[in-house]
Amino acid sequence: MPMKRAQVVATQGSGFRTECTAGSHTVIVDQPVGGGGTDAGPSPLDLQLVALGGCITAIGRIIANQRRLDIRGITANVEGDLNLDGLLGKESTDRVGFSAIRAEVTIDADLSPDEKAALIEEIDHRCPISDNLTNGTSVEIALAG
């Protein structure tokens, strides 16, 4: 099975602002001013939701192109529920990550509601970000060197 390795490099200075490079692209990640950052970019938690929304719309477009479906547009409204206590170091029995993530997808196309529902089901099945979130991909964090 052919594998593709994706890689980003995240570099942070003395504040929360972090420059992340992915290929030829740079994304600024930061915290809101109220959280000690400068609000120069979305938070890592926001970016996780961005990644899911972007994957949903991209996979939807891939399927539309493969099937020659006339899809005028796809919108994914993604939200997550989070208890901040754990990540702030406070005592909590909740998990540190999102306890739930929801994506509401609107498809602008001349398809029946059943066809749209089937398309959303296939998008979810083929979306790697949804798969990673649903199936708990192994993560290893280690000191370099």
For residue 90, the model assigns a pLDDT of 86
pLDDT in tens, 36-89: 999 999 999 999 999 999 999 999 999 999 999 999 999 999 999 988 877 788
The pLDDT assigned to 14 comes to: 87
Q: Is the pLDDT of residue 120 over 90?
A: yes
Instruction: Report d(CA 104, CA 122) in Å as an integer.
Output: 15
Q: How far apart are CA 108 and CA 12, in angstroms?
A: 40
Name the nearest CA neighbour of 105 among 62, 58, 141, 139. Answer: 58
- For 129, other C-beta atoms within 10 Å of its C-beta total 20
Are 59 and 126 contained in the same domain?
yes
Closest CA to 78 of 43, 62, 54, 109: 54
Residue 1 lies in a domain: no
C-alpha 15/C-alpha 30 separation (Å) is 9
Mean pLDDT of the chain: 92
Using pLDDT thresholds of 50, 70 and 90, give the confidence band for residue 105. Answer: very high
Q: Are residues 13 and 84 in the same domain?
A: no
Give the total number of structural domains in the chain: 2
Say which amino acid occupies 54.
G
CATH number of the CATH domain containing 68: 3.30.300.20
Task: Indicate the DSSP class of residue 39.
Answer: -
Q: How far is the C-alpha of 109 from the C-alpha of 101, rounded, in Å?
A: 25
Domain-embedded: residue 94: yes
**Mean pLDDT on 27-37:** 92
Pair (30, 62) in one structural domain: no
What is the mean pLDDT of the segment spanning 30-38?
92
* 91 belongs to a structural domain: yes
For 24-41, what is the mean pLDDT? 93
Q: List the domain range (segments joined by +) for residue 117.
A: 44-135
Q: Is residue 18 part of a domain?
A: yes
Give residue 97's pLDDT band: very low, low, confident or very high (50, 70, 90): confident
Report the predicted TM-score, pTM, of the whole model to 2 decimal places.
0.88
Q: Clarify whether residues 67 and 22 are in a common domain.
A: no
C-alpha to C-alpha distances, 109 to 61, 106, 124, 127, nearest whole angstrom: 12, 9, 18, 20
DSSP secondary structure code for residue 142 in this structure: -
Q: Is residue 142 part of a domain?
A: no
Same domain, 104 and 131: yes
